[in-house]
């Protein structure tokens, strides 16, 4: 069996390729951006990579082609697939057909925190001795890989994205997964390039709810009006709430302001008897949003038989996924932190968590608004307020952003600067930073390798 993957260097498609290789399938693929670390990971797995898209990449003729959702009609390789009548399928459909059947699937959905929550859950299941499979839109550092099959009888954790599936299938990816357990962590407007409004996304989330069986479970965050509206459309599965509300059976109480220590309370019935469990989590992450992510993961792990004390203890050994509050380096007492936040809500949550965990130095926010939603300017009016927890903000105007960030600076609650040259941005940060400061770089892209450039420039500036 020869599988050829279009868009293979994307996080989802690359992870899919690794699963296919683990199944013993011959895999090749093409992408416009073939570069490390994904290219290295794929080549080490024995996968042949083609840079760029061309009909020649389809030689020798593959048995099946998997088409990534970033590709559309007009792409030369897509056109060749259609003209040659090659069998093709979307990534989510391939996963659903070839990997998920017979598995206990746990889908992690939400506008924010999917990668962290899925990584947390996979780690809790691993710590509970279940050897789970997983496909995650990032690299969980406890595993060092973004996907694996796991034990054949173990749960499979999948990061369940609401983005569309492929050019020929405009349903959200997550409708393919048919989970037994689904986490609905939060829901607000995003992906303005494919959704007209929040109601359109709510409808897709309800399609996911429709696929969860009555013997399954929906773990739903409290205090989320959009999720409440989703459930009001119809629900046929037991619902367990998690969050901070007194009525939720899974809830948390922060014991430190930065959420690095919190108590988990689980109230439930066992054989008709009311049971109250609690455990304290003392872990390396910060931010109330991450504590909620952990709470969701604890609830899902419990549904799979991992007891609360064991799971809570395992969280102390959890390492954040790559690009989620990841410390990239420290020079002269100045930390450089990488974070994937790119939506105003995520930017604010990341900064609030780091602010509470930065008692002495300053918090400098560096932001590149480059997501499709940001490029359309849909949420621009919320950007200024999102940096309120920082001491200063440095905004980068990427070349593809067709609107000016100047109004964001004018409305900024903290001192702010706007730059459109990467070297000038690095120089400005080096001039501003001093020992004990934390520089958090937020972007959903590579940001021109700013982390390495910044660390190298700090080394030079503080060489004496």
161 near 15, Cβ under 8 Å? no
Report the distance separating Cα 408 and Cα 385, nearest Å. Answer: 9
Instruction: Express each pLDDT in 448-459 by its tens digit.
Output: 788 888 888 888
| pLDDT for residue 140 | 83
Q: Which two tokens stand for residue 154?
A: 């173990």
Report the distance separating Cα 52 and Cα 22, nearest Å. Answer: 25
- In this structure, what DSSP letter does residue 320 have? P
Residues of the chain whose pLDDT is less than 70? 35-37, 191-192, 269-273, 321-322, 341-342, 372-377, 464
Q: Which of 350, 409, 420, 417 has its CA nearest to residue 380?
A: 409
| pLDDT for residue 93 | 97
- In this structure, what DSSP letter does residue 62 have? P
Domains and CATH numbers, the chain: 2-92 (3.40.50.720), 100-317 (3.40.1190.10), 326-461 (3.90.190.20)
H/E stretch holding 374 reads helix 372-375
Q: Which two tokens stand for residue 383?
A: 């950007």
Q: Which two tokens stand for residue 69?
A: 């959702």
Supply angle C-alpha 165, 369, 429, rounded to 5. 140
Task: Please report how the helices 198-211 and 225-232 are oriented relative to each other, as an axis angle in degrees rounded to 10.
Answer: 50
Which residues does the annotation place in the binding site for ATP?
A: 110-116
Report the distance separating Cα 38 and Cα 348, nearest Å. Answer: 29
Give me the residues paired with residue 276 across strands: 267
| pLDDT for residue 265 | 93
| pLDDT for residue 21 | 95
118 near 94, Cβ under 8 Å? no
Task: Please report how the helices 91-98 and 11-22 are oriented relative to each other, as an axis angle in degrees rounded to 10.
Answer: 30
| pLDDT for residue 221 | 95
Contact residues for 36 (Cβ-Cβ < 8 A; gap 6+): none
| pLDDT for residue 36 | 65
Which residues does the annotation place in the binding site?
A: 110-116
Residue that has been written with the tokens 């919320």 in this structure: 382
What's phi and psi for 264, nearest 5 deg? -105, 130
| pLDDT for residue 271 | 62
| pLDDT for residue 227 | 97
H/E stretch holding 117 reads helix 114-127
Instruction: Express each pLDDT in 69-122 by its tens digit.
Output: 989 999 999 999 999 999 999 999 999 999 999 999 999 999 888 888 999 999
């Amino acid at each position: 069996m020869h599988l050829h993957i279009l868009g293979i260097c994307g996080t989802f498609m690359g992870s899919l390729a690794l699963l296919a290789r683990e199944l013993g399938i011959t895999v090749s693929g093409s992408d416009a951006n073939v570069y490390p670390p994904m290219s290295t990971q794929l080549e080490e797995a024995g996968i042949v990579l083609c840079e760029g898209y061309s009909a020649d990449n389809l030689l020798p003729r593959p048995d099946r082609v998997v088409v990534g959702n970033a590709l559309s009609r007009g792409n030369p390789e897509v056109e060749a697939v259609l003209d040659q009548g090659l069998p093709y399928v979307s990534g989510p459909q391939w996963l659903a057909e070839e990997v998920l059947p017979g598995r206990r699937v746990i889908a992690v959905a939400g506008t924010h925190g999917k990668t962290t929550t899925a990584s947390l859950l996979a780690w809790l299941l691993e710590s509970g001795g279940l050897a789970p499979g997983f496909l995650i839109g990032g690299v969980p550092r406890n595993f060092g890989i973004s996907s694996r099959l796991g034990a054949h009888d173990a749960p499979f954790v999948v990061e369940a994205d609401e983005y569309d599936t492929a050019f020929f299938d405009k349903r959200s990816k997550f409708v393919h997964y048919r989970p037994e357990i689904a986490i609905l962590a939060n829901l607000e407007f995003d992906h303005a390039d494919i959704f007209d409004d929040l109601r359109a996304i709510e409808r897709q989330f309800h399609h996911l709810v429709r696929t969860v069986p009555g013997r399954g479970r929906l773990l739903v965050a409290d205090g989320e009006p959009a999720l409440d509206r989703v459930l009001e459309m119809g629900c046929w599965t037991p619902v367990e709430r998690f969050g901070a509300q007194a009525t939720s059976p899974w809830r948390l109480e922060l014991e430190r302001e930065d959420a690095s220590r919190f108590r988990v309370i689980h109230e439930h019935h066992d054989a008709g008897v009311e049971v109250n469990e609690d455990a304290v989590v003392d872990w390396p992450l910060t931010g109330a949003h991450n504590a909620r992510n952990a709470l969701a993961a604890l609830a899902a792990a419990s549904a799979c038989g991992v007891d609360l004390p064991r799971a809570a203890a395992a969280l102390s050994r959890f390492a954040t996924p790559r690009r989620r509050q990841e410390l990239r380096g420290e020079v002269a007492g100045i930390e450089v932190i990488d974070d994937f936040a790119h939506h105003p809500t995520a930017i604010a949550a990341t900064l609030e968590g780091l602010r509470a965990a930065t008692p002495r130095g300053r918090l400098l926010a560096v932001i590149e608004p480059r997501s499709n939603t940001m490029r359309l300017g849909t949420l621009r009016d919320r950007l200024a307020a999102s940096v309120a927890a920082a001491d200063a903000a440095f905004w980068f105007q990427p070349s593809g952003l067709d609107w000016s960030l100047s109004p964001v600076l004018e409305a900024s609650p903290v001192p702010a600067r706007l730059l459109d040259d990467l070297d000038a941005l690095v120089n400005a940060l080096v001039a501003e930073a001093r020992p004990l400061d934390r520089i958090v770089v937020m972007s959903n892209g590579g940001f021109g390798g700013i982390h390495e450039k910044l660390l190298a420039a700090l080394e030079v500036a503080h060489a004496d």
